[in-house]
Every structure is written in structure tokens, then in C-alpha cells.
Amino acid sequence: MPDEEFATYREIKSQTQAWIQALDLTRATQLPKAEDYEQVIFTGCGSTYYLSLAAAALYQQLTGRVARAVPGGELILNSDIILSNHKILLVAISRSGTTTETVKAVEKFKAGKRGEVFVISNYQEALSFLADASILIPEGQEGSVAQTRSFASMYVAATGFAARMAGRNDLLDSMSSLPETGERIIKDFEQAARQIGENLNFDRFYFLGSGILYGLACEVNLKMKEMTLTHSEPFHFLEFRHGPMSMVNAKAVVVGLVSESNFNHENAVLNEMRALGGKTIGVGNSGVDISFYSGIPESVRGVLYLPVLQLMAFYRSLAKGLNPDRPTNLVAVIKLNL
């Protein structure tokens, strides 16, 4: 079956259009003021929890204000050890806007009068009606179960949100070239992604990322698990030496989401894993296997790491005879009786 017949493939390849809409909406949306909140909590489930990890790290880096990521389920079950008495901004992220844990977490937060709620989603559903303000990106909507285009569109919005909350409109302006750069990266590196994905001699994948890139490493790891049923794990770069590297051999692929700020330390980890016999792939702005050469500031170009690694999972799914649109045991939206 041609690749284009799979929704997942079409959604990965068309995602830059959703990035454009996410940027436009982020510019146009009236945002709260960062100085009004002593803490910001980003929440979601599954992919959007990993998005929250990335967004919280970026928000704290850019604004200098405390931010953390918490799964929606934890906000329901353990809010007493998560929420402080300070004024809190809750940023709830959900592709569908109907994920039970996230909706219930927001309802509980609002009932406790803990603070305001900002929502990032692809659909105008239950979650958006609970929000004090929101960014809704319909171009990111998907027919497949595993999040690709939706995740990227919401991450672009979260990145722009953090930049604006920090008063860094210069960063938001620099994000305008993300879609064009993303198109070029997809064109230049799709075959490289296919070559690695289709190689079934590899039986385990490790995705390394640190700082603002750790949440993205978690997300691309999840795509490999969901779509390909392959052993896959995410780690911080330096943590990988502390035990996990014992799993590295000729059947292992170690993918590094390499930053410029910590390039020497992170590249050293990849070099060590290559010496142990693993296949290593560096992804970053320059000096690595998949180089962006973007000219976009490091803090706001994170979405560029996603498309090639999503394609790697897509092609591995096909090589294993699986359906990337309908991963085993999964549904698009988790709805629970809570």
C-alpha cells in the first residue's frame, strides 16, 4: 500500500501547515501576564504530558518563573502534594479536548478556585469551555491514533506562548521561518529516516535529550513504542551512562536530540555509545547526522526535531507489518469513569 494511503504519513508530511496556524493563533490570542502567577503547571496525558515536560522547562527558562509538568491523573489523585497556596496558572494541553483525566483535573482545579486555566488543543470541546483563554488549532486535527501533526502544532503554540509570556516577541518573530525549515528537513532526511526505520536488525531504541529537549525525547520514544511495538526508552544524556548503556550493542539505536548549549557533553555520550557498537544518530542544528542549519534561536526551534523521528517510527511500523494508523491496544481518546 502506498505510504500516502496512511493517515499517519499524510499528517506527518503536512504538519508544517498546522505550525503556521499555531503561530498565527498564538500571536492573536490575548494571554495572561506571567507576573500575576507564582507558579505555572502544565498538564496533559500521554503525549501531551511529554509536551508539558518540554513546555514547562522552556517556560521556566524564558520567564525565570517556577513551572512544572504534572500528568492529569496526578492532579486528580494527588493534588494535595502538587498544588501550593500560591496563585497558579494551569496550562492544560489535549489534542481532543475530551481526555477524561485532563478534563476532570481542570474541573477540580477550578472548583478549588486555585487560579486561571489556559488551554491548548486542536478541538473546541469540553476542555476549551472550561478555559479562561485558549489556543485551538484545527489544522492539527488527525485521523490517526498516534499524535504527530497534533503534537507538533500544540508544541509550536506552547513554545510561542512561553516566548510571549517572557516578553520575547523577538523569539516569536524568529519562529516564522519554522514551517519553511521544517519542509526542507522532511525533504532532505525522509530517506535517512526510512533506512533506519526499515532495518529490522535493530531491536531497541534509546532517545536522549536534556533540558528543554527531554520532553521531546520522551515523545519520539512514545511514537516508536506505539507505532512499532519496539523496545524504546528515553533518557537524559548524562544519565544514560548510569546503567542503561549496558543495553547498547549492535542491535541498539541511540538517537540524540543534541543541543548547541551542551553540544560537547552530549556528543561525547553518542561517541561512547558508538564505541560500544551501537548505531548512533545525532539530531540538531549543526555538526550532527541530521542537521537543521536553521538560523532559529535554540529555545524556539524544538519542533524541528520531530518530523524525521516520527517518519522513522512510521517506516518501522510498515516494515514490521503493522498499521501505524491504528496502534495495538490503543484508542485516540482515553475516556474513563472517574
3-state secondary structure of 232: strand
Domain ranges of the chain: 3-176, 177-319
Cell of 230: 519496539
How do residues 178-225 score in pLDDT, each as one tens digit? 999 999 999 999 999 999 999 999 999 999 999 999 999 999 999 999
Task: Provide the 10 A C-beta neighbour count for residue 2.
Answer: 6
**What is the structure's pLDDT at 114?**
86
In sequence order, the β-bridge partners of residue 257 are 283
Question: Alpha helix (H) ranges present in 133-283?
Answer: 149-165, 169-174, 178-197, 214-228, 263-275
> What is the spatial distance between Cα 291 and Cα 305, in angstroms, rounded to a whole number?
10
How do residues 297-311 score in pLDDT, each as one tens digit? 999 999 999 999 999
Question: Alpha helix (H) ranges present in the chain?
Answer: 7-13, 15-28, 47-63, 72-77, 100-111, 126-129, 149-165, 169-174, 178-197, 214-228, 263-275, 306-319
Pick the CATH number of 3-176 from 1.10.1790.20, 1.20.1250.20, 3.40.50.720, 3.40.50.10490: 3.40.50.10490
Q: Which fold has domain 177-319?
A: Rossmann fold (3.40.50)
Q: Do domains 3-176 and 177-319 have the same CATH topology?
A: yes
Q: Could you write out the DSSP letters of every residue in 306-328?
A: HHHHHHHHHHHHHHTT--TTS-T
> What is the spatial distance between Cα 131 and Cα 290, in angstroms, rounded to a whole number?
39
3-state secondary structure of 130: coil
How do residues 95-113 score in pLDDT, each as one tens digit? 999 999 999 999 999 998 8
Residue 335 pLDDT more than 70?
Answer: no
Residue 68 pLDDT more than 60?
Answer: yes
